[in-house]
Structure 1
Amino acid sequence: MSKPLGYYTSYTPGDDSLLEKVQEEYGSAFQKMSKREKLSILMILAGNIGAHLDEGVRGEIYAVARQMTDQLSLSDQAGIMEAIVSQVIRGQNAEPVHHS
């Protein structure tokens, strides 16, 4: 994250919010967090957002995700994460493909 937290969120300096406290503690670009800590936050936030959606998850998606963790390099896994986060933020949702 090269841009400060306020670029991505509703944080405004001096607003005494949780975002301000997080920025003060961990840096405006989370530079005071390890990669593992950042990934933990990402996992928790993704789970929370997913829990608020009405859609279900097709069983095959779990199998695909398992194949990705087993067969893709860590770099490719990170690239998949970046692509998905970008699509979720920009609201790009495709209709599920149903295979016969």
Structure 2
Amino acid sequence: MSKPIGHFTSYTLNDGSLLDSLQEEYGSGFEKMTKREKLFLISSIAIQSCDQSPGRCRDEIYVVGYQINSSLPQADREGLIEALINQVRWGRSLSDTEVVPVK
């Protein structure tokens, strides 16, 4: 069973926010959305967040993305989404000022 959106966000019940209306419309765990719709929202949010992040991706990361999408089964790709979200939110990342070795 998944946790409600309030577990992951600043949502407070009946606060009149967008999160409140999303929970009302789609359920506390988005159970009234299809898997495709959830993946679309993940993609949409990730693209916007990436565009707003400073710096650029190393060329090798584009290759890694291709390898992941062409070689891993769906369950492992979904696991990587979960792991990467956890790292973006709670983990340490290289800053854009740190030297990144180019392969």
TM-score, scaled to structure 1: 0.91
Match of 2:9 in 1: 9
Output the CA distance in 1 between the equivalents of 2:99 and 2:37.
Answer: 32
Counterpart residue type for residue 39 of structure 1: L
Match of 2:90 in 1: 90
Output the CA distance in 1 between the equivalents of 2:27 and 2:92.
Answer: 30
Summarize the alignment of residues 34-45 of structure 1 with structure 2, pairs less than 5 Å apart: 34-45=34-45
The Cα offsets for residues 46-75 of structure 1, whole Å up to 9 and x where unpaired, read as 111111111211111111110111111111
Contact 2:23 2:30 in 1 (8 A): yes
Match of 2:18 in 1: 18
Output the CA distance in 1 between the equivalents of 2:77 and 2:99.
Answer: 21
Superposition deviation, residue 91 in structure 1? 3.5
Match of 1:66 in 2: 66
Counterpart residue type for residue 76 of structure 1: D
Runs of 4+ in 1 over 6 A off after TM superposition: none
TM-score, scaled to structure 2: 0.88
Aligned length: 100
Output the CA distance in 1 between the equivalents of 2:99 and 2:87.
Answer: 15
Match of 1:46 in 2: 46
Higher mean displacement: 74-83 or 35-44 = 74-83
Calculate percent identity across the aligned residue pairs: 44
**Root-mean-square deviation over aligned CA pairs:** 1.6
Output the CA distance in 1 between the equivalents of 2:82 and 2:11.
Answer: 22
